[in-house]
Amino acid sequence: MVFQLVSRRYERGSMIITSNKSFTEWGGVLGDDVLATAILDRLLHHCDVLSINGPSYRLKDRFLTPGGTA
Amino acid sequence: MKRGVDWRRPRERSWLLFVTAVVLAVLAVVVARWRGPSWALAAVAAVAAAAGVIQGRLQERAKAEDRQQQLLAQFAITEGGRGERLPLVGEVDDPALRVHRAQVSVPYLRRDAEQELVAALLARDPVLVVGSSMAGKTRMAAEVLRTCYGDWPMLVPQGAKALAGLLAGGALLTHRVPPTGAAGLRRSRLPTAGPGGGEHGLPTRLPPLRTRQHDHHE
- Cβ <8 Å between A44 and B133: no
Question: Residue A69 falls within a domain, yes or no?
Answer: no
How confident is the model at residue B190, as a pLDDT?
A: 31
Residues B133-148 pLDDT 10s: 877 888 888 888 888 8
Backbone angles phi, psi at B62, to 5 degrees: -60, -40
Chain B interface test: which of A18, A48, A61 (most B C-beta within 10 Å)? A18
CA distance A38 to chain B (A): 15
Window from A2-6, A51-55, B47-51, B164-168 with minimum mean pLDDT: A51-55
- Amino acid code (one letter) for B39: W
What pLDDT, on the 0 to 100 scale, is given for residue A50?
A: 86
Question: Helix axis angle, B38-75 relative to B160-169, nearest 10°?
Answer: 160
Out of A1, A8, A14, name the one closest to residue B125 (CB): A14
Given this model, what pLDDT does residue A35 score?
84
Q: Are strands A48-52 and A15-19 parallel, antiparallel or unpaired?
A: unpaired
User: Which residue, among B128, B184, B153, has the nearest Cα to B13 in the 3D structure?
Assistant: B184
Interface predicted TM-score (ipTM) of this complex, two decimals: 0.72
Return the pLDDT at B9.
64
pLDDT value at B115 more than 50: yes
Q: Does B71 touch chain A (CB under 8 A)?
A: no
Domains: count for chain A: 1
Q: What is the mean pLDDT of residues B43-64?
A: 81
Residue B72 has pLDDT above 80, yes or no: no
pLDDT at B171 over 60: yes
B115-139: b or e for each residue (b if 16 or more CB lie within 10 Å)?
ebbbbbbbebbbbbbbbeebbbbbb
Residues of B in contact with A29 (CB under 8 A): 212-213
Give the domain extent around A17.
2-64
Give the Å distances, CA to CA, from B192 to B7, B92, B114, B156, B203: 29, 21, 14, 25, 17
Its pTM surpasses 0.90: no
* Any domain includes A18: yes
Contacts with A61 (C-beta within 8 Å, 6 or more apart), sequence order:
B104, B106, B107, B109
The reply to whether A8 falls in a domain is yes
Confidence of residue B210 (pLDDT cuts 50, 70, 90): very low
Average pLDDT, chain B: 68
Domain ranges of chain B: 10-75
B25 or A55: which carries more pLDDT confidence? B25
**pLDDT given at position B63:** 81
**Confidence at residue B162, expressed as pLDDT on a 0 to 100 scale:** 78
Domain membership of residue A50 (yes or no) is yes
B211 vs A5, higher pLDDT: A5
CB contact under 8 A, B172 and A8: yes
Would A70 be classed as within a structural domain? Answer: no
Residue B81 scores a pLDDT above 60: no
B111 touches chain A (CB under 8 A): yes
